Structure 1
């Protein structure tokens, strides 16, 4: 029962999570160490794995995000790194990039990012409640909803597994 109470407290903590919108991100370019500190600070309350410079360099190398200009990263790259960090545990980075490109093809990157973050926050703020999502009006909206469902389900399952953490019994053959 104590574990269930801990899970319920975690759900209530998620109700207070605030994620930055596009305009909340720095208006100036950042160096790598600033980028990793900012991204990890933003995602820390969600319990998402930390982002390392090696990961970001790999995204640049594989054209998942744009290369920095004079070793400095801009808002567009920050939002891409945030989205990739949220979605990478469930999808290959190429799939995440393709999804971001698809969504931004029908919407400006700022609007697409703000919409995704707003919907993710809304889902987190209603964890443990009966909350009905508005019906998707097109495939892009459905893609966003399904991606958010995946992120939230992953966060929930990882939290539950950490709380359960019972040692597994070995099955012995007789």
Structure 2
């Protein structure tokens, strides 16, 4: 059996910690600060050659209505939370799908609750796939209680992202095995 979890990329994924809402800086950030914060925070999810976020991307998300515009050129905690979700989901889903998923969550739950639940679910899905004993990410609740459908959307979308990350780690592993190639 090949140990995909041995790649440096997989090890970074296992150490992933997304900031919970209360851990996001309380002060509003200018664009350059926002981009720097997100690049640092989300670096474990990306290969070194992949672009995490740029000023143009942020502006595009605003233009497309997925992200609210800045207030006086400053971005709030809520903006940061939205962008963490967007940047993690964009590896697997289209921007219109991401917009729908976010809107569904915030229509059902407070932004803080929805965001923290998302972070917990994504980290758990990544740990399940990359842990010492790999397993499937948490299954769906599929209940009839209020919010169950929305929670299932989060569990399914974070599992999809985790599987995308697993494929990226597997590709890095295979590339490392190939003569003349190096893993990232």
TM superposition score normalised by structure 1: 0.85
2:182 corresponds in structure 1 to: none
Provide closer, same or farther for how the CA distance between residues 132 and 25 of structure 1 changes in structure 2, counting only shifts above 3 A.
closer
* SS across alignment from 2:57: helix
1:27 corresponds in structure 2 to: 26
Q: Of the candidates 107, 110, 116, which is equivalent to residue 109 of structure 2?
A: 107
Provide closer, same or farther for how the CA distance between residues 89 and 131 of structure 1 changes in structure 2, counting only shifts above 3 A.
closer
Structure 1 residue 125: Cα displacement: 2.3
2:161 corresponds in structure 1 to: 151
Aligned Cα root-mean-square deviation (Å): 2.0
Structure 1 residue 19: Cα displacement: 1.2
1:17 paired with 2:19, answer no
1:63 corresponds in structure 2 to: 65
* SS across alignment from 1:126: helix
Structure 1 residue 135: Cα displacement: 4.0
1:130 corresponds in structure 2 to: 135
Mapped to 1, the partners of 2:111 and 2:137 lie a distance apart of: 26
Provide closer, same or farther for how the CA distance between residues 58 and 106 of structure 1 changes in structure 2, counting only shifts above 3 A.
same
Structure 2 unmatched ranges of 5 or more: 180-184
Worse-matched range after superposition: 128-137 or 49-58: 128-137
Mapped to 2, the partners of 1:135 and 1:95 lie a distance apart of: 19
Asked if the contact 1:15/1:126 (under 8 Å) is kept, the reply is no
Aligned residues: 164
Larger relative contact order (CA 8 Å, sep ≥ 6): 1
Q: Which has the larger radius of gyration?
A: 1
Provide closer, same or farther for how the CA distance between residues 78 and 109 of structure 1 changes in structure 2, counting only shifts above 3 A.
same
Mapped to 1, the partners of 2:137 and 2:35 lie a distance apart of: 35
Mapped to 2, the partners of 1:64 and 1:118 lie a distance apart of: 22
Asked if the contact 1:28/1:74 (under 8 Å) is kept, the reply is yes
